[in-house]
Chains A and B, each alone.
Chain A
Amino acid sequence: MNQFTVLVKKELIQLVREIKLVWFPLVFIFLGITQPVVSYYMPSILEMLGGGQGISIDPSMMAQSGGEVLASTLGSQFDQLGVMIIVISLMGIVQSDKASGMLAFILTRPVKVGSYLSGKVFSHYVFIAFSVAVGYIVSYIYTQFLFTGIPLEDLSIALLLYLLWVLFIVSFTTMISTIFNSQGVIALLSIAILLGCRVIVGLNPFLDTINPASMSTYGMELLVGGVLNSNVFWSILITLILSALAINISNTWISRKKYRID
């Protein structure tokens, strides 16, 4: 076994021991179900609250297509609560090792900083991507059952685009967790910047191209309209570069021993 495999295995064992393997996918399944079910029953719920008179609902609201519903799963569930849960569950990814002295301890061993970091990012990313994908698929099953189906091609491309955005979220949070020492600061900063990226999508075409959060909206556009944005190639490239850059900065930061030692 080489170092990388050993470190990935160590992280995966941690995921099992912390029972994150159980709750994390369940949370995303829950988020995934919420959107189609709430969209479907919203008219009845509103009506119940409306009392004996009843309220009239614009029939066009019911005419939501499956694509629109699944797009709002990405846009309003995963991109809000989902991103927050990912960031908060990752805020200690490097920080807790720094605080406990584990990082210093590991670095007295024959371990490359790069293997340590890539082992962490790889194992957590694969696991989070898996959880997001499971939540997405369950959301699709509900959507298709309650609304309409979506072409398989659009469905899978939208998921892959979304997972690229998740890759950036994981690398970015890892970088912040490497640089800062307080979990609160890490969570707040990461959530503010990542949600900020998500909010500014659509303001300016150039910004959209270099904004990793656009991956999410490209996916949504594809689900709703069946059309892929023409800038998608450049955005994919830039998202990959930015993710690599974030990991690289963490690597340099640890190699230069800028982490705190108590």
Chain B
Amino acid sequence: MLSISELEKSYPNKKVLNGVNLHIQKGEILGFVGGNGAGKTTTLNIITGILDCDKGAVSINGLTNKSGLEYKKQFFYIPDTIHVFNNVPGYDWILFLMSLFNIEDNEKLDEYIKVFDMEDSIKKSMGTYSYGMLHKMSLIAAFTINPPIIIMDEPINGLDPSAVVSFKEEIKKYVERGGTIFFSTHLLDVAEKICDTIAILKDGKIILHDKVKNIIGDSSLESIFMEAQIYERDTQPY
């Protein structure tokens, strides 16, 4: 459903993506792994339309990233840094996002607010939210909007343990409803427990895209995976 082919991107002083190929099936929960400078953020930026690629193509459900609005209705993106208006309550912000996707299901919204335990804070202004609360708010918006694919950058960071449990459950339900998950993470245990498949990006190319059980079982693949994990953990800026 999400199809990336021969993606290339250069910045003035360096080539970041060197022909990325990645094809995600409907219902897949993909963990996207790569060290700093591997081009993970650049790939996400190109998929979500923040950047244009030099060469190659991205498409979701047959719509390319040049097809404008309809393409952008195919996914909900939760970035690492979530930008908000400090003075606006989270509830109003979610309603705003929902209206952009032409979704008006307030019952569902209230249901997810309960699931993520945000009843008290959702009406407060977003300036008071912690990093984890902003992520919970975005997850509530994502599941309410229920797009074909949810794209996330480091979704577990800052979530409290109970929220991680809800997150895992809701992801399973969402995939059963026909959704697809694409997320970048550097946590091995989370990737192992949640993801069906893992794709490793190194030096601007996908070096591995396989089922988790194949990787975990195969010691040579596991070592590649661990290597990427360790590299990632050591170079995280925070």
Contact = CB atoms under 8 A, between A and B. Distances in A.
Contact of B69 (A13, A18, A112): A112
Given A10-B96, A111-B100, A105 B83 contact: yes
Interface string A140-169: 000000000000000000000000000000
Interface string B41-71: 0000100111110000000000000001110
Interface stretch (B16-24, B85-93, B189-197): B85-93
A261 interface: yes
Contacts of A105: 79, 82-83
Nearest to B47: A108
A112 B85 contact: no
Given A6-B100, A110-B101, A261 B51 contact: yes
Contacts of B235: none
Contacts of B49: 107-108
A18 B97 CA distance: 21
Interface residues of A, number: 21
Contact of A101 (B48, B70, B81, B101): B81
B87 A6 contact: no
Q: Is the interface of B mostly helix, strand, loop or mixed?
A: loop
B50 A102 contact: no
Contact of A100 (B51, B83, B96): B83
Contacts of B50: 104, 107-108, 257, 261
B72 interface: yes
A110 B87 contact: no
Contact of B99 (A6, A14, A101, A112): A6
B79 A18 contact: no
Interface in B170-226: none
Of B72, B92, B101, the most chain A CB neighbours within 10 A belong to: B72
Contacts of B52: 257
Contacts of A109: 72, 77, 97, 100
A76 interface: no
A161 B91 CA distance: 41
Contact of A13 (B45, B77, B92): B92
A154 to B, nearest CB: 42
A182 B168 CA distance: 43
Interface string A234-262: 00000000000000000000000100010
Contacts of B124: none
Contacts of B233: none
A6 B72 contact: no
A44 interface: no
A1 B103 CA distance: 10
A110 B96 contact: no
A3 interface: yes
A196 to B, nearest CB: 34
Interface of B: 45, 48-52, 68-70, 72-73, 77, 79, 81-83, 85, 87-88, 92, 96-97, 99-101
Interface of A: 1, 3, 6, 10, 13-14, 17-18, 100-102, 104-105, 107-112, 257, 261
24 contacts: A3-B99, A3-B100, A6-B96, A10-B96, A13-B88, A14-B85, A17-B85, A17-B87, A101-B81, A101-B83, A102-B83, A105-B82, A107-B50, A108-B72, A108-B77, A108-B79, A109-B72, A109-B77, A109-B97, A110-B69, A111-B69, A111-B72, A257-B52, A261-B45
